[in-house]
Amino acid sequence: MGVIYDEKKKTFTLHTKNTTYQMKTDQYGYLLHLYYGRKTKGCMDYLLTYADRGFSGNPYEAGNDRTYSLDALPQEFPSQGTGDYRSIAFAVENIDGSCACDLRYESYEIVEGKYALPGLPAVYAGDEEAKTLKIYLKDSVTEVGVCLLYGVLPELDIITRSVVVTNNGHGKIYLEKVQSANLDFVTGNYDLITFYGRHAMERNFQRMPVEHGVQMIESRRGISSHQYNPMMILTKRGTCEDYGGCYAMSFVYSGSFKGQAEKDQYNQTRMMIGLNDDGFSYPLKPGETFYAPEVILTYSASGLGELSGNLHSCIRTHVCRGKYKDAVRPVLLNSWEASYFDFNGEAIYELAKHAAECGIELLVMDDGWFGKRNDDSSGLGDWDVNEEKLGETLKNLISRINGLGLKFGIWFEPEAVSEDSELFRKHPDWALTIPGRNPVHGRNQLVLDFSRKEVVDGVFSQMCRLLDEENIEYVKWDMNRALSDVYSAVTKEQGRVLYDYVLGLYDFLERLITRYPNLLIEGCSGGGGRFDAGMLYYTPQIWCSDNTDAIDRLRIQYGTSFGYPVSAVGSHVSAVPNHQTGRETPMNTRKVAAMSGTFGYELDLGKLTAQEKQEVRKQVEEYHKYAPLIQNGRYYRLSNPFVDETGAWAFVAQDQSELLLNVVMLETHGNMTQTYVRLKGLKKDAFYREERSGCIYPADALMEVGCPMPLELGAYQAHQYYFVKVSDEI
């Protein structure tokens, strides 16, 4: 397993447990892609075919051989100006203004362990868990050097890719496009699955056949965005949850990106993802190096369920870090939907008292505790406690809350600034604005220029003042607008700002987690506007959406589940009628939906009846019982809540000893037909006892026909069944 170089055939082969990836260098020194898919031995260069292709370019050295064209051959890293007219992965503007870059093979290196990327999040692994292949390419005219990085994690069926560009020439060049991973398929009909959305309705599932032309998803917003998630899947036609071949690309980056699938004139398909080249023009002086963010690749020959499982394990165990990586997260109560900006210390303490009575472990004081902040028009940037509003010091409030046995958490939006703030009055140039123009507002605020170190330092030291002094055990890191007016006051080269901004953000987060290793940080961007593998390197959970409606959440969490583990999904029970949709759902249903994530509450518990509070107490106890299974078990989608009459999913222990089934009925009719939910992931031939009824079921029947759901009256009823393996054999 791992990485093999065949000197005679000039092939590089990457093997994981179930997959193989192969490429070769050819007679002209081009690096051609041969194969990615189900595990196989041997050499796949027989897949390359050559024919005279009219209007496709031929490299000069091919002479009169018109059958060799990079416009038709599958490549690892297609570059501009080589006769390949499809979408390319790499474009440079050279000192002479030309835009060609003809990358040819130079050398390779195979090293133990997984490469890291300075300043960027990346999959990490022990030396015994991974191998790295580095392939060096070079343009001989400009001396631009490119190193393609491949990380191979055999046990996880994961291959990562990244690109390092070095300017070995004599003048400054501009990188105009650097995609991090490209996959060329010489044949096949595919569907592209992407996850689109909007604020409060993120990651809707979309599946489209890849036809001639380019299908593209992107963010130009400087954050990965609510609109398109930087994760996409290419499936063979007919692939479904349980069978069929499919490929995922998950971009480990939190800013603007572009992902696309293109079917070319010869019915070949190209898939790639990387930084958005729109607004990107990165200067590289002689001797300087540029690191492109990483892409996680995985292939499953057994459908989308396994594909997601691969991504879940990788992100949970090799991207997320820190004390809370594997730990069950504290059940929290967040003040936002309880009181929005309208609170004082006593009100927060009251919330905490109710929370303590219900067994909740962490009280989070959301937006509104700092500067002058009674609505969203002012105060951002002034991270000093508003003691006048609280009516007490923060120390006092925290100590009272700790006295109830609860941890204390707090909200920050470090990247933002209000024009009505002390920070902006003092440092107006710290905000991204274009001289002479009025900036574009988003939620009445501006964005701080995190591409500048002094800005990052300034906010960091403000934040540390509080975190050093107070017993704060959780931070919600929010970011409530997209970037605009991308103009930095210090650099002359604005094409670097969007990327440098994200590096500044990562630098801040890295410093924060290093200085406060016990702090739990939850990412957030108006809910799930920056839900990506990059952020999960720093924050092991992310508030999934500002939409807390249980039924909408089924769909949002369903979409999210394709690329991200449940341990990363912030999910809370909120009040009814729901504040975003006005919909009423039973308390039990809200609990079941919220248990598909890091569980918590977001409502005024003081407004509940004694009986409802008792129910909350019971829910928290139940969560504690199931939490290790939810956090570390395998997640199975059992329905598609966009089209089926249920939202259904299950958590199965890695050793198959237990299963928690979750079902929400989305339809109710007169004389209702019977719904059966088919389980997955149980041990074949074994028997399982359902805890509440005590009934024993054969695993195979549960997986073949399913489990009948009760015919209960009422909209959106939910059911949770816990199965324990009682015997291995019939």
Q: How far is CA 464 from CA 135, 367, 414, 504, in A?
A: 42, 18, 12, 17
* DSSP-derived 3-state class of residue 699: helix
Nearest-angstrom CA–CA distance, 322 and 309: 22
Contacting residue, 139, 415, 532, 546, with ligand GLA by CB under 6 A: 546
User: How far, in Å, CA of 124 to CA of 82, rounded?
Assistant: 34
* Omega within 30 of 0 (cis) for the link into 577: yes
Residue type, 619: Q
Give residues with Cβ within 8 angstroms of 388, minimum separation 6: none
Work out whether 336 is an interface residue with ligand GLA (CB under 6 A).
yes
Q: Which is nearer to ligand GLA, 226 or 407 (CB)?
A: 226
Instruction: Decide whether 14 or 605 has the Cβ nearer to ligand GLA.
Output: 605
**Shortest separation between residue 574's beta carbon and ligand GLA, angstroms:** 11
Residue number with the smallest Cβ distance to ligand GLA: 367
Count Cβ neighbours within 10 Å for each residue of 501-526 and write b for 16 or more, e otherwise. bbbbbbbbbeebbeebeebbbbbbbb
Shortest CB 355 distance to ligand GLA, Å: 17
Q: 543 vs 651, which CB is nearer to ligand GLA?
A: 543
Q: Are 520 and 512 in contact (CB under 8 A)?
A: no
Q: Cβ closer to ligand GLA: 477 or 688?
A: 477
Out of 274, 414, 526, 563, the residue judged to bind ligand GLA by CB under 6 A: 526
Contact with ligand GLA (CB under 6 A): which of 76, 367, 419, 549?
367
Nearest to ligand GLA of 198, 207 (CB atom): 198
Contact status, residue 179 vs residue 273, Cβ threshold 8 Å: yes
Q: Which of 419, 420, 478, 532 is catalytic?
A: 532
3-state secondary structure of 33: strand
- Using DSSP's 3-state secondary structure scheme, residue 620 falls into helix
Q: Which of residues 406-465 bind ligand GLA (CB under 6 A)?
A: 411
Determine if 580 is a binding residue for ligand GLA (CB under 6 A).
Answer: no
Any contact of residue 480 with ligand GLA (CB under 6 A)?
Answer: yes
Q: What angle do CA 541, 547, 550 make, to 5 degrees?
A: 95
Backbone phi and psi for residue 60, each to the nearest 5 degrees, phi listed first: -55, -45
Quick one: which segment of 56-64, 214-222, 522-530, 577-585 binds ligand GLA (CB under 6 A)?
522-530
Q: Which of 366, 473, 549, 552 binds ligand GLA (CB under 6 A)?
A: 366
Distances in whole angstroms, Cα of residue 322 to Cα of each of 311, 319, 448, 513, 541: 19, 10, 27, 8, 12
Nearer to ligand GLA, 76 or 549 (CB): 549
Q: In angstroms, what is the minimal distance from the CB of 425 to ligand GLA?
A: 22
Residue with tokens 């975003």: 580
Measure the CA–CA gap between 206 and 228, rounded to whole angstroms: 11
Q: Is 504 strand, coil or helix?
A: helix
- Taking the complex as a whole, the smallest distance from the CB of residue 118 to ligand GLA amounts, in Å, to 31
Nearest distance from residue 431's CB to ligand GLA, in Å? Answer: 18
How far apart are CB 401 and ligand GLA at their closest, in Å? 19
Span of 64-72, 465-473, 519-527, 534-542 interacting with ligand GLA by CB under 6 A: 519-527
- Number of shown-chain residues binding ligand GLA (CB under 6 A): 11
Residue pair 301/38 in contact (Cβ under 8 Å)? The answer is yes
Compute CA distances 577 → 225, 335, 337, 585, whole Å. 28, 17, 12, 8
Active site residue 612: yes
Containing 522, the helix (H) or strand (E) segment is strand 520-523
To ligand GLA, the closest distance from the beta carbon of 526 in angstroms equals 5
Of residues 330 and 526, the one with the C-beta less far from ligand GLA: 526
Per DSSP, helices labelled H in 319-435 are 336-339, 345-357, 387-390, 394-403, 422-426
Displacement of CA 448 from its chain's centroid (Å) = 23
Which of 215, 222, 217 is closest to 279 using CA atoms? 222
Span interacting with ligand GLA, options 82-90, 138-146, 430-438, 524-532, rule CB under 6 A: 524-532
Terminal alpha carbon distance of the chain? 37
Q: Provide, rounded to whole angstroms, the least separation between the CB of residue 546 and ligand GLA.
A: 5
Q: How far is the CB of 410 from ligand GLA (least distance, A)?
A: 11
Q: Which of 155, 342, 612, 728 is catalytic?
A: 612
CA distance 526 to 532: 14
By beta-carbon proximity to ligand GLA, the closer residue of 296 and 380 is: 380
Q: Is 361 marked active-site?
A: no
Beta bridge partners of 602: 574
SS3 of 312-323: the string is HHHHHHHCCCCC
Q: By CB under 6 A, tell whether 527 contacts ligand GLA.
A: yes
Name which position in 449, 473, 478, 658 contacts ligand GLA (CB under 6 A).
478
The minimum distance between CB 545 and ligand GLA, in angstroms, equals 8
Q: Judged by CB under 6 A, which of 105, 408, 543, 688 binds ligand GLA?
A: 543
| Active site positions, annotated | 532, 612
The residues of the shown chain that bind ligand GLA, judged by CB under 6 A, are 336, 366-367, 411, 478, 480, 524, 526-527, 543, 546
